[in-house]
């Protein structure tokens, strides 16, 4: 599955990244490549947490949304 990450140049150097589909997945790195690898790991961890918690929330399913 593909996710969208927003890369921002950090004022102190390097980059920050946040996944648009999973706002809890945030990461940083010195280079773009490092930042992208780190956000991949953050997304994977966020997905693991969601899967672990799915029993507490009930059934989790995907919903297709078509914009007008």
State which CATH number among 1.10.3470, 3.40.50, 3.40.190, 3.30.160 fits the domain covering 5-56.
3.30.160
Q: Where are the domains of the chain?
A: 5-56
Please, which residues have CB within 8 angstroms of residue 19's CB and are 6 or more apart in sequence?
Answer: 3, 4, 5, 25, 26, 39, 42, 43, 46
Distance between CA atoms of 67 and 11, rounded to whole angstroms? Answer: 36
Residue in the block written with tokens 């921002």 = 8
pLDDT at 60: 67
pLDDT at 57: 65
pLDDT at 38: 97
| CA angle in degrees (0–180, nearest 5) for 61-59-47 | 65
Span 3-11, average pLDDT: 96
Span 34-42, average pLDDT: 96
10 has a pLDDT exceeding 90: yes
């Amino acid at each position: 599955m593909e996710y969208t990450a927003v890369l921002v140049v950090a004022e102190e150097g390097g980059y920050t990244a946040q996944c648009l589909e999973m706002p809890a997945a945030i990461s940083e790195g010195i280079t773009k490549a490092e930042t992208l690898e780190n956000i991949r790991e953050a997304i994977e961890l966020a997905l693991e947490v969601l899967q672990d918690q799915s029993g507490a929330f009930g059934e989790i399913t995907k919903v297709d949304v078509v914009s007008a």
